[in-house]
Amino acid sequence: MQTSATEFFGEISDHFICLEWNFMKSQEKIVFGKKLDWTFLIFPIWIPILYILLEHLSGENAPLVTFAFIFLIGESHFLATLFFFTGENREYINSKKKEFYLIPLVLILINSIFFSINLKYALILGALMSAYHVTRQSIGLLKLFGGKNSKLEFDIYLFSLFFVGVGFLRTSNQYFESDNFIYKLTNYIWDLFTVVNTPTIMAFVILYLAYRVLKNQDKMNKETIALYFTGTLLYSPYLFTSPTTASVIGVSMHWSQYLTLVAGISVHSGKLNFQKLKEKKITLFVGLVVVIFAIIAVSDYVRLVKEVNLWILIVPLSIQLLHYYYDSLIWRGSEPHLRETVFKQIFQQPRS
Residue 169's pLDDT is what?
78
Q: List the one residue out of 230, 263, 267 whose CA is nearest residue 249.
A: 230
Q: List the one residue out of 81, 51, 73, 45 whose CA is nearest residue 63.
A: 51
Q: Residue 305 pLDDT more than 70?
A: no
Residue 86's pLDDT is what?
86
Q: Residue 308 pLDDT more than 70?
A: no
Kindly report the average pLDDT of the chain as a whole number.
80
**Phi/psi class of residue 346: alpha, beta or left (left: φ > 0; alpha: ψ in -120 to 50)?**
alpha
Band the pLDDT of 287: cuts 50, 70, 90.
low
Band the pLDDT of 123: cuts 50, 70, 90.
confident
Least reliable range by pLDDT among 121-125, 198-202, 235-239, 291-295: 291-295
3 state SS for the chain: CHHHHHHHHHHHHHHHHHHHHHHHHHCCCCCCCHHHHHHHHHCCCHHHHHHHHHHHHHHHHHHHHHHHHHHHHHHHHHHHHHHHCCHHHHHHHHCCHHHHHHHHHHHHHHHHHHHHHCHHHHHHHHHHHHHHHHHHHHHHHHHHHHCCCHHHHHHHHHHHHHHHHHHHHHHHHHHCCCCCHHHHHHHHHHHHHCCCCHHHHHHHHHHHHHHHHHHCHHHCCHHHHHHHHHHHHCCHHHHCCCHHHHHHHHHHHHHHHHHHHHHHHHHHCCCCCHHHHHHCCHHHHHHHHHHHHHHHHHHCHHHHHHHCCHHHHHHHHHHHHHHHHHHHHHCCCCCHHHHHHCHHHCCCCCCC
Least reliable range by pLDDT among 206-220, 236-250, 273-287: 273-287
Q: Residue 290 pLDDT more than 90?
A: no
Q: Residue 177 pLDDT more than 80?
A: no
Residue 193's pLDDT is what?
66
Least reliable range by pLDDT among 105-114, 193-202, 256-265, 309-318: 309-318
Domain boundaries in the chain? 1-30, 31-344
Residue 352's pLDDT is what?
53
The whole-number average pLDDT for the span 88-99 is 94
Of all residues in the chain, the percent with pLDDT exceeding 70 is 73
Q: Residue 87 pLDDT more than 70?
A: yes
Whole-number Cα distances in Å, 48 to 52, 69, 207, 214, 299: 6, 10, 23, 27, 23
Residue 272's pLDDT is what?
61
Q: pLDDT for 41-66, tens place per residue?
A: 999 999 999 999 998 898 888 877 88
Band the pLDDT of 24: cuts 50, 70, 90.
very low
Residue 23's pLDDT is what?
43
Residue 302's pLDDT is what?
45
Of all residues in the chain, the percent with pLDDT exceeding 90 is 43
Q: Residue 278 pLDDT more than 70?
A: no
Q: Residue 327 pLDDT more than 80?
A: yes
